[in-house]
Amino acid sequence: MHERILKFYVQIQGLKGALINNQSGQDLIEYALVVSLIALAATAGMGAVATSISTAFSKVGSKLTGYTS
């Protein structure tokens, strides 16, 4: 029984060491920050693009109305 407890203890210590030395979470956070920055920039730029597209469709619509009347 004592040997099983000792093996379990050694396994837990190994897992603890692996979790403490694991730095992959830091990379994940950096990627998440980059993606959120890109999303923020895309969202901010969509306002100007949407206005330009709306203006273009309005011009096309008015020209089509002039040609069909």
Q: Write out pLDDT tens, residues 2-23.
A: 788 888 788 777 777 766 666 6
Residue 41, CB-side half-sphere exposure with 13 Å CA sphere? 6
Q: Report how far residue 33's alpha carbon sits from residue 40's, in angstroms, rounded to the nearest whole number.
A: 10
Mean pLDDT estimate for the chain = 83
Its pTM stands at: 0.43
